[in-house]
Amino acid sequence: MGLMATSNWAPPSVDFRAFKAGQDFRAIAFGSVHVDVDGPTGTVTVSHTDSLAEVGFTPPFSFQKLRQNGAIVGPADELAIERELPAVVKTIHAGEISPLSSVVVGARHVNTAIDNVPDDPVLANALVKVRASAAEDASGVALPEPGVPFHVPWVWCEVLLTNAGDRNVNLFARGSTFPSHAFYVNGSRIDLALQAFHASYLVFPGTSLLRESDMIMPAFFQKGGAGVRLTDRTQQ
């Protein structure tokens, strides 16, 4: 319930800076890349105007998000839950970012996890790796409640932009199975990979809410750390 209620809304196809200002994301990587191709020689020169890799935020607990996913939450339920909520989930919190996070222009990132791709000239390679704040982590592992048996995991996303020739570029991506990933080119979203949901997890009928009493927590967190190759896209 906590993960669902403090999730982010799905990112829309909007201007990047307007989306960033809303603080409704867990992490973000961005770059403006300028490519010059010499006609006679085919030499590619890459430059950039700006780039960033930043941590995002965990939004406050939202009953609206629970209802959106099928939960039946009445006024009495809200009052009961509100009394039990820890203070940490009632406000927005910035996460923690790894120093590995950066946007590299014209070369591969030293910590790249993308492999088995064509050996085309690299235009840019961005990696962003984050986790929730120390305050959220401390709240989760506190005893006796809720007593989560694991600290919050690191999650990550990587994108690789290469020159495919003939005015074509390839965008490759890879990331952790949790959370979801969205990809933008020229201000428009071109792909969205939703977080993995293991088929063996039991949910309440007609909802997306996990029956946590039937879950095996270690299996859930092991799945969350696995890497997944996202669909490769070509943007002309």
The residue written with tokens 């088929």 in the block is 199
* pLDDT tens-digit series, residues 62-104: 888 777 766 677 777 778 887 877 788 888 989 999 999 999 9
Instruction: Kindly give, in sequence order, each residue whose CB lies less than 8 Å from that of residue 18, ignoring residues fewer than 6 positions away.
Output: none
CB neighbour list of residue 123: distance below 8 Å, 6 or more residues apart: 33, 35, 44, 46, 105, 106, 161, 162, 163, 169
Confidence at 223, pLDDT banded by 50, 70, 90? very low
What's residue 228's pLDDT?
34
Q: How far apart are CA 68 and CA 66, in angstroms?
A: 5
Return the sign of the alpha-carbon dihedral for residues 11, 12, 16, 21: negative
**Res 236 pLDDT > 60:** no
Q: Do 10 and 70 form a contact (C-beta atoms < 8 A)?
A: no
Residue 116 pLDDT > 80: yes
pLDDT of the residue at 108: 94
pLDDT for the residue 218: 43
Alpha-carbon torsion (5, 11, 12, 17), positive or negative: positive
Model pLDDT, residue 179: 84
**pLDDT tops 60 at residue 1:** yes
DSSP the chain: -HHHHTPPPPP-S--HHHHHHTT--SEEEEEEEEEEE-TTT--EEEEEEEEEEEE-EEPPP-HHHHHHTT----HHHHHHHHHH--GGGGS-EE-EE-TT-EEEESS--TT----S---PPEEEEEEEEEE--HHHHHHHH-TTTT--SSPPPPEEEEEEEEEEETTEEEEEEEEESSS-EEEEETTEEEEEEPPP--TTS-B-TTSS-B-GGG--HHHHHHHHT-EEEPPPEEE-
Cβ neighbors of 174 (< 8 A, separation 6 or more) are: 113, 114, 157, 158, 227, 228, 229, 230
Q: What is the pTM of this model?
A: 0.75
